[in-house]
């Protein structure tokens, strides 16, 4: 009986994994446009950011220690690039993190960038986002130019590569992004069923 239950459990897991199909955005291809509400209720449309030189789309979380390890760096990135015509949008797609919690988390961490709630993880699915934090950098034509991590370590003192900043600096200089894709790491996005 136990072995039958174990087999059924394994089969159920495999079936669930096979139905989780995320779009896999390709670098140098157009990214889907979206419209989401900020946690303050204001609608943000990606298409309205067409005057920006770049848009950083960050999938973040309130409860993930990996994402939280980047809180200061995400805020600093926003501050460093906001006057360089770069938009930064943070998206919370976790079904387990209600809007009130996301608002409190933003206040506690001093976030001043737009924070959007992706109810039903629709945008996360369109982008193929799996982790928090996970980054997508779009150029002024909304073409994906970089996808992956912010840098190579959750601990700021151990980070010695800065792929997100390198990508933004290259785009702003009109150059090719040096490393277009890296492996994002962190907590998985807790998706709606």
- Integer Rg of the chain from CA: 17
Tokens of 14: 């495999």
* Closest among 117, 178, 182 to 153, alpha carbons compared: 182
pLDDT of residue 1: 57
User: Is-contact 151 159, C-beta < 8 A?
Assistant: yes
Domain coordinates in residue numbering, the chain: 23-188
User: Is-contact 144 118, C-beta < 8 A?
Assistant: no
User: Is-contact 102 95, C-beta < 8 A?
Assistant: no
Tokens of 128: 């193929």
**What is the spatial distance between Cα 192 and Cα 130, in angstroms, rounded to a whole number?**
13
**What is the spatial distance between Cα 134 and Cα 98, in angstroms, rounded to a whole number?**
20
pLDDT of residue 189: 98
As a three-state string, the secondary structure of 64-85 is: CHHHHCCHHHHHHHHHHHHHHC
pLDDT of residue 24: 82
pLDDT of residue 193: 75
For the chain, the farthest-separated pair of C-alpha atoms sits apart, in whole angstroms, at: 64
Alpha helices in 20-140 (DSSP H): 65-68, 71-81, 99-109, 122-127
User: Is-contact 37 43, C-beta < 8 A?
Assistant: yes
Coil vs helix vs strand at 165: helix
**What is the spatial distance between Cα 87 and Cα 54, in angstroms, rounded to a whole number?**
6
10-residue mean pLDDT profile of the chain (193 residues): values are 47 39 83 96 96 98 97 98 98 98 97 97 96 98 98 94 98 97 97 88
At the second CATH level, the architecture of 23-188 is 3-Layer(aba) Sandwich (3.40)
């Amino acid at each position: 009986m136990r072995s039958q239950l174990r087999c059924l459990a394994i089969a159920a897991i495999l079936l669930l994994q096979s139905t989780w199909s995320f779009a896999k955005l390709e670098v140098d291809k157009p990214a889907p446009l979206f419209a989401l509400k900020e946690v303050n209720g204001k609608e943000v449309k990606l298409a309205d950011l067409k005057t920006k030189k770049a848009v950083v789309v960050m999938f973040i979380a309130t409860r993930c220690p990996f994402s939280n390890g980047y809180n200061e760096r995400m805020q600093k990135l926003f501050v460093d690039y906001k006057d360089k015509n770069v938009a930064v949008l943070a998206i919370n797609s976790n079904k387990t993190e209600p809007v009130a919690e996301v608002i409190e988390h933003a206040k506690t961490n001093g976030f001043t960038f737009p924070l959007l709630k992706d109810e039903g993880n629709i945008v996360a699915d369109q982008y193929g986002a799996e982790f928090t934090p996970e980054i997508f950098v779009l150029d002024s034509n909304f073409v994906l130019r970089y996808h992956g991590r912010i840098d190579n370590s959750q601990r700021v003192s151990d980070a010695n590569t800065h792929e997100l900043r390198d990508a933004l600096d290259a785009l702003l200089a009109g150059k090719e992004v040096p490393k277009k894709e890296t492996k994002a790491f962190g907590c998985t996005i807790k998706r709606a069923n």
